[in-house]
Structure 1
């Protein structure tokens, strides 16, 4: 999993789970254009998909979403098309629109990108790291220890922790690109959290990474970070064995019912 520092670190990362910032849209997520009803709808639907408020495979009704969000069907349709470009929504003619099921290959691709960026950034942490950022990261870990049972709050802190490490390395500006590129990974991570009895194992991993980085530098922190980031694969395999309907197994179209049925 992952996290971030309190204070300014937590505040910045708190936005990461929803609509991406301008930098993220430029480099990853589909760009819905100027501030408009379509952009607002896109941001809200993307947030719901990534946070699992809309579950993988769930049917999406343009009429119901338009009524709920207080807009016409046009911005909803536009938003769904943008989400389709990101692989987060599937649209089947004469059947309807559905939240995409989790695609393990997309998860692996996003993990590959994230791991490459985060491991490389460790090499650029200075020998004498910024004490203010270091203190934020330590405070963040302390906060993580207090959120047992609140997976979404832990996820927010997790994001902030990793963003804080990027700040420590002088590469915080790349974080929006990472966030935009890892929507599929974030869905898998949240599913994985549902299988975890306690988040404390991840908290301890964060603490060990930070301690190794401050004590021995990148050479000691890198293998710990790699192991930490790759735990998502074990987590999603447990979810997949229990709930295979949440994962993409073929390219067939679903049968539209009150609950989507995938052949």
Structure 2
């Protein structure tokens, strides 16, 4: 037997992580799925050859526990499994706004916890996750959490004080990108293109631009200047965006997301 991982919560992120762990080579029989809806757990586990169990039974045999439930359900879940958490177990939470202090308060004293903020591109193994260790998490356990979440994309380790910013940038970030893509497609239709053509143009342009940033390592400002010929079409468009204060709107929006993330964090007790 390898490392036994209990996934508590079979929603979008829980099922996404399960599928990725199987793809990355984990033995499905080492993966145990639990959910408040037993039918949902059975369906998700069955799709990947994993096992199912009640939450407390899953935790009792686990080396790593992944908490993938809604933030408002977290306290009740930890009360249910508290007595089954074994010494040395690593607990990883991917619930928005749940702090390591909150987790440590509701779990047995000395439990190693890691707070993680993934995003929805994890569905296609292109996620971005920020992780922060709790007080009792060893370097080896932190690396274990990092490897676990690398199965769905890239991972960075950072101080927990930055987690609200991570939520605002990468956690909520896909929503901003989809919003911009939607607007660009609508503009294409307005300019007379068929919707499927506009969609193909916009999506490939987005993919290509993101790939340029990643592969060249060039600052986005430099890349923007390279496509902005004096007196050209890009400069005219960018001037219109500046006139409408789009940059300022993004800053305000992301500040609002970070503020809301902080508001959603429950007190430790």
TM-score by length of 1: 0.30
TM-score by length of 2: 0.30
Please state which structure has a larger fraction of its residues in strand: 2
Between structure 1 and structure 2, the one with the greater Rg is 2
Higher relative contact order (CA 8 A, sep 6+): 1
